[in-house]
Structure 1
Amino acid sequence: MRAFVINELSGPEAGAITEIPAPEGAHPWTEGQRLLIEVHAAGVSLPDLLQTRGMYQHAQPVPYVAGGEVAGVVREAPPGSSFVPGDRVAGLTVFGALAEYALALPDYTIKLPSHVDFGAGAALYLNYATAWFSLYRAGFVAHDVVLVHGASGGVGTATLQLVRARGGVPVAVVSSEVKAQAAREAGAKHVLLSSGPWAQQAKELTGGRGAQVVVDPVGGDRVTDSLRSLDVGGRLAVVGFAAGEIPEIKLNRLLLRDLSVVGVALEPYARRYPDVLRTLTAELENMAAQGQVCPLVGHRLPMEQAAEALSLIDRRRAVGKVIVDIRDDSGA
């Protein structure tokens, strides 16, 4: 089969389309449950970029097949699972997605309704699962004002959609007018530019009180202002560090206004609390079936341009999800 293989940990440019054998056995995270997917489209995100440099917590030894998210058709399913060969599905692989066949994680896979094409399917699970879990960890309730950083990206647009659908007030923080338009299309009620006084503006939008929740996949030097933008009792959900810098927080900022900071890492939480993962997956599958989620696919590239797909994220040029079409019928 054809696959995009990373041969050294120096970035996406070290990858190449290579003929390799189809995957054998089961994904190492699944305790022997073999779920083999005929991949039609793959989604790439920041973790996939970090893996190409050996910088991600789930780094892979080279050579390995890049890509963490797939949409396609089940070819082999574990006995007793909810999947059968022929099912259209979308889910996580962690690595291995940029190939004609990939091993997926049954617990992190949903059935894909016929009205959702494979390109949109490959943009669905990771972004919406992260958005759902971020709001869960932050104790989101209806009517909360939620400030979303990186709001034009895949996780950001998914979070805006879920906040709005669940009765909250989504406020986007973006770095350009082009990204502002993407955030508005995703449902942001207000859009603030990161180059301006966004923390002060967030206070003004809420009558001086501040947001109840901040969802931050960016990190860097904006974290202190994120805390300043929160209302008393507010919660900051730390999703990632797309800015490349891991910030430090002075604990007195939390004490003085009863603020909370929560990490958003689904995999370890799901190991300890599997019922939460089952609820999350069931809700995502239901929302997809009911047409309640609409992934923003900002870029679609052929498999031959897989390195460029990852480089878009590296250059912070991505708007919405970056998708790589593995087969010609990825829009089917």
Structure 2
Amino acid sequence: MKALLSTAVGGPETLEMTEVDAPVAGPGELLVAVKACSINFPDALIIKDMYQLKPARPFAPGSEIAGVIEAVGEGVAGWSVGDRVIAGTGYGGLVEKKVVQAAGAYRLPDQFSFEQGASLLMTYGTSIHALKDRGHIKAGDTLLVLGAAGGVGLAAVELGKAYGARVIAAVSSEEKAAAARESGADDVVVYPHQPFDKDQSKALANAFKQAVGPDGAHVIYDAVGGDYSEPAVRSIAWEGRFLVVGFPAGIARLPLNLTLLKSCDVCGVFWGAFAAREPQRNAANIAELFDLWAAGKISPRVSETYSFDRAPEAIAKLANRQAIGKLVVTI
């Protein structure tokens, strides 16, 4: 079978399309013929050895897939050959066939495409865990989402609206602003590109404050980091929750006196570790996502699809923060 492998540390241009032996489903496993693999920010990091997880080479990037079951391992109940399935992989998804744990697989309803299915778990799984478990969001809250036009950002916008929050989307272009509004954002802040000097940082903080209103943002979902985090914290509500989701703009340095002045919480969000440590709570969240999807309250936005041989282009586009919604490789 074909596999797109990282054989050396580097960017997407170092990935190599290779023929490898197809895997075999063992006990508790499913062999999946991969139809679609979405691209996520960790895919750009893991091939540079910049992600928390550092697998031995060679390995394929690709952290979530959708496909059709080709074989069912010993001891697996409830699954049959031909079933449509989605699963998180951590890495290894950019292959023609992939073995996954049956316990971590979810049935993909017929009304949803493989491309959409491959775009649900990581972005919406991260965002529902962030907003519900870490941010304790509730109806009437004001939610500020940084990086609101990316995969996790749009998921946070949709989920915020589903939970009854007023959602302010912060993005870097008018094109991304339009996408956030289409996903339900009540207002949008278009921020400039970093780095910021003191006056620019203050101006952005004032823009956030004006958008969220005099009471501040009860929940801030920061999927950007860098120079954008401190201005966002300055707009937080009393006892607000600042959710640390990702750092494509760099790891932020926050003046901790701000957390004292606002009596706010800074909450880390590591969905992958949560899913591994608390599989039952994660499964309940995923079940809720399927209910919201069926009700039309969320819908994974696939903005572009790429053929298997063009997967490095998709990773490069995401790494350069040019993507809106989800980029998906069809296999």
TM-score (norm 1): 0.91
CA contact (8 A) 2:144 2:212 kept: no
Q: Measured at CA, do residues 107 and 227 of structure 1 come closer, stay the same or move farther in structure 2, by a change above 3 Å?
A: farther
Structure 2 equivalent of residue 98 of structure 1:
94
Q: Measured at CA, do residues 22 and 63 of structure 1 come closer, stay the same or move farther in structure 2, by a change above 3 Å?
A: same
Structure 1 equivalent of residue 197 of structure 2:
none
Q: Partners of 1:234 and 1:226 in 2: how far apart? A: 11
Deviation at 1:207, TM superposition (A): 3.5
Structure 2 equivalent of residue 175 of structure 1:
172
Task: Give the secondary structure class of the aligned counterpart of 1:65.
Answer: coil
Kindly report which structure 2 residues correspond to 1:74-85, keeping only aligned pairs within 5 A, or say none.
74-78=69-73, 79-85=75-81
Kindly report which structure 2 residues correspond to 1:125-144, keeping only aligned pairs within 5 A, or say none.
125-136=121-132, 137-144=134-141
Deviation at 1:203, TM superposition (A): 2.2
Deviation at 1:271, TM superposition (A): 4.0
Q: Measured at CA, do residues 255 and 106 of structure 1 come closer, stay the same or move farther in structure 2, by a change above 3 Å?
A: farther
Q: Partners of 1:10 and 1:109 in 2: how far apart? A: 30
Determine whether 1:18 maps to 2:51.
no
Deviation at 1:266, TM superposition (A): 1.9
Determine whether 1:201 maps to 2:196.
no
Q: Partners of 1:201 and 1:213 in 2: how far apart? A: 16
Structure 2 equivalent of residue 301 of structure 1:
306
**Candidates 48, 54, 57, aligned match of 2:52:** 57
Kindly report which structure 2 residues correspond to 1:271-310, keeping only aligned pairs within 5 A, or say none.
271-310=276-315
Bigger mean CA offset, 158-167 vs 85-94: 85-94
Determine whether 1:262 maps to 2:267.
yes
Deviation at 1:267, TM superposition (A): 3.0
Q: Partners of 2:253 and 2:101 in 1: how far apart? A: 34
The one-letter code of the counterpart of 1:258 is S
CA contact (8 A) 1:9 1:62 kept: no
Deviation at 1:25, TM superposition (A): 5.1
Q: Measured at CA, do residues 212 and 88 of structure 1 come closer, stay the same or move farther in structure 2, by a change above 3 Å?
A: same
TM-score (norm 2): 0.91
Deviation at 1:275, TM superposition (A): 3.0
CA contact (8 A) 2:150 2:325 kept: yes
Residues 67-118 of structure 1: CA deviation (Å, up to 9, x unaligned): 1110111223453444332221222111111111112344443211111111
Question: RMSD of the alignment, in Å?
Answer: 1.8
Aligned positions, number:
320
Uncovered stretches (5+) of structure 2, i.e. residues with no partner: 193-199
Determine whether 1:185 maps to 2:191.
no
CA contact (8 A) 1:110 1:285 kept: no
Q: Partners of 1:17 and 1:186 in 2: how far apart? A: 36
CA contact (8 A) 1:13 1:307 kept: yes
**Candidates 40, 44, 48, aligned match of 2:39:** 44
Q: Partners of 1:251 and 1:83 in 2: how far apart? A: 50
Bigger mean CA offset, 119-128 vs 268-277: 268-277
Structure 2 equivalent of residue 145 of structure 1:
142
Structure 1 equivalent of residue 153 of structure 2:
156
Deviation at 1:180, TM superposition (A): 0.8
The one-letter code of the counterpart of 1:116 is F
**Candidates 105, 108, 127, aligned match of 1:112:** 108
- Percent identity between matched residues is 37
Q: Measured at CA, do residues 253 and 82 of structure 1 come closer, stay the same or move farther in structure 2, by a change above 3 Å?
A: farther
Task: Give the secondary structure class of the aligned counterpart of 2:29.
Answer: coil
Q: Partners of 2:36 and 2:55 in 1: how far apart? A: 21
Q: Partners of 2:140 and 2:102 in 1: how far apart? A: 34
Task: Give the secondary structure class of the aligned counterpart of 1:212.
Answer: strand
Determine whether 1:229 maps to 2:225.
no
